[in-house]
Amino acid sequence: MAKDQGRKLIASNRKARHDYHIEETFEAGIALMGTEVKSLRMGRASLVDGYATFRGDELWLEGIHIPEYVSGTWTNHTPRRRRKLLLHKQELHRIQVKTRESGHTIVPLALYFKDGRAKVEIAIAKGKKAYDKRHALRERQDEREAQRALSTRGRE
């Protein structure tokens, strides 16, 4: 039985790119229960309130919501439980050093299946100020207006 090739996106955290300056990204494995995997295969998850913290030398993902599996029994999982992230020791050390700096946090950006295995893309990020968010929105709006002007120029 061949495994699915490529990357199948389950959930993405678009709000994270709006609220944070993304400095560095990592791909991490995630330790899941069987019913969580089945629920993810149905495409059900939310990363909006997610964040990662260190407990000892291990990195844990908290606040993400994977709803209970519909056909599950008493072995079903808790939707907002803490899940362990699987990374190389060097990556964990680099992340830990970086997050000790003031204002840095670890946020999940995407949850996906890669070659049949559940992966999460995490990022070391620094929070944006309100004026940074307004500036980014203004830049995007100006770019959109310029593209619109260029596309309608040929029709006149």
Distances in whole angstroms, Cα of residue 124 to Cα of each of 49, 97, 100, 107, 151: 16, 11, 11, 7, 38
The model carries a pTM of 0.73
Classify residue 67: in a domain, yes or no: yes
Segment 92-125, tens digit of pLDDT: 899 888 888 788 888 999 989 888 888 999 999 8
Q: Is residue 2, in this structure, part of any structural domain at all?
A: no
Q: Which residues, other chains included, contact 71 with Cβ-Cβ below 8 Å and sequence gap of 6+?
A: 38
**30 lies in some domain:** yes
Tell me the per-residue pLDDT of 74-97, one tens digit each, with 9 for 90 and over.
666 666 788 889 999 999 899 888
Residue type, 66: I
The CATH number of the domain where 74 resides is what? 2.40.280.10
In a domain, 52, yes or no: yes
Boundaries of domain holding 22: 7-128
pLDDT level of residue 4 (50, 70, 90 thresholds):
low
